[in-house]
């Protein structure tokens, strides 16, 4: 796979940049709240957003409230794998139909299993088992049972030591496509950087749209066409882009 480090837009009007958070912008941590935002990263993201005339969005499995806590200055984001959506600093219509009572039930069932961390979000739910990896099958079976019984169409995503329940209509590919229809993004080349299996839908979308898909890490098959080795390299690449002349 091609190294993405030397990739540079010919013109700042060319690219629309979509960035995953955990495992891409930020190093993975033992729990969701333990992640650290390196002190120089917000300024780099702001600088790039300005260079791209606003065509930069965070595309994350985290809920919007958590994204805002980590990156308060970022104006465009898709949360909960695209079930939530914010444009130009304003919350937009998301995906309805999150079955709260079923989510209560799955949270209670999972909380009774030692080593599982339940992360409840506005319209999705994550079951983390990083503390007890052999629980993977148990957690997957529990989540599959919930999806089968849900009154609303849900689906499962299997991420890094996590199973996520999301509305069936959500997904990072659709989130990127929704941004690409907005005036600030329309006509640009989508560039998506992500690390996880849950980012594959985003890679497939940007490939279809003639864009640039960049996988962070390695060790598994991916639809991405470019590669960066780890979040530290992603941050160095973004800083390098942000140091290019504004007229690039």
Sites of contact with ligand L263DTV3 (CB under 6 A)? 20-23, 28-32, 35, 60-62, 119, 126, 128, 130, 159-162, 164, 196, 198
Q: How far is the CB of 23 from ligand L263DTV3 (least distance, A)?
A: 5
Phi, psi dihedrals of residue 70, rounded to the nearest 5° = -75, -40
Name which of 30 and 218 has its Cβ closer to ligand L263DTV3.
30
Q: How far is the CB of 113 from ligand L263DTV3 (least distance, A)?
A: 16
Give residue for tokens 């990896």. Answer: 133
**Alpha-carbon gap, residue 99 to 36, rounded angstroms:** 32
- Where is 212: in which H helix or E strand? strand 212-216
- Per the annotation, the verdict on 20 as an active-site residue is yes
Q: How far is the CB of 116 from ligand L263DTV3 (least distance, A)?
A: 11
Q: Which of 20, 195, 196, 199 is catalytic?
A: 20
User: Smallest Cα–Cα separation from 29: which of 130, 129, 120, 157?
Assistant: 130
Name which of 99 and 202 has its Cβ closer to ligand L263DTV3.
202
Inter-residue contact 94 to 78 (CB < 8 Å): no
Beta strands of 63-148 (E only): which ranges? 77-79, 84-87, 90-91, 117-120, 125-128
**Alpha-carbon gap, residue 205 to 189, rounded angstroms:** 12
User: Smallest Cα–Cα separation from 98: which of 83, 108, 86?
Assistant: 83
Residue 18 token pair: 């979509």
Residue number with the smallest Cβ distance to ligand L263DTV3: 61
Name which of 187 and 232 has its Cβ closer to ligand L263DTV3.
232
Name which of 130 and 155 has its Cβ closer to ligand L263DTV3.
130
Inter-residue contact 82 to 175 (CB < 8 Å): yes
Q: How far is the CB of 164 from ligand L263DTV3 (least distance, A)?
A: 5
Q: How far is the CB of 72 from ligand L263DTV3 (least distance, A)?
A: 16
Name which of 9 and 121 has its Cβ closer to ligand L263DTV3.
121
Which positions are catalytic? 20
């Amino acid at each position: 796979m091609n190294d993405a480090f030397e990739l540079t837009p010919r013109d700042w009007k060319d690219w629309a940049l979509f960035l995953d958070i955990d495992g891409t912008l930020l190093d993975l941590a033992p729990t969701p709240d333990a992640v650290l935002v390196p002190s120089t990263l917000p300024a780099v993201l702001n600088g790039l957003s300005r260079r791209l005339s606003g065509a930069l969005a965070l595309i994350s499995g985290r809920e919007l409230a958590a994204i805002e806590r980590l990156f308060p200055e970022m104006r465009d984001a898709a949360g909960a794998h695209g079930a939530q959506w914010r444009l130009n600093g304003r919350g937009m219509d998301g995906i309805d139909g999150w079955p709260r009572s079923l989510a209560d039930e799955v949270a209670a069932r999972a909380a009774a299993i030692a080593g599982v961390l339940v992360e409840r979000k506005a319209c999705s739910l994550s079951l983390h088992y990083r503390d007890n990896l052999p629980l993977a099958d148990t957690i997957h079976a529990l989540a599959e049972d919930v999806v089968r019984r849900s009154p609303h169409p849900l689906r499962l995503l299997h991420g890094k030591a996590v199973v996520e329940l999301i509305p069936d209509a959500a997904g990072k590919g659709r989130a990127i496509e929704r941004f690409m229809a907005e005036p600030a993004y329309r006509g640009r080349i989508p560039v998506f950087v992500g690390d996880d299996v849950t980012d594959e839908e985003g890679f497939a979308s940007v490939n279809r749209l003639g864009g640039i898909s960049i996988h962070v890490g390695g060790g598994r098959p991916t639809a991405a066409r470019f590669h960066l080795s780890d979040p530290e390299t992603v941050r160095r690449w973004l800083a390098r882009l942000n140091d290019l002349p504004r007229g690039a």
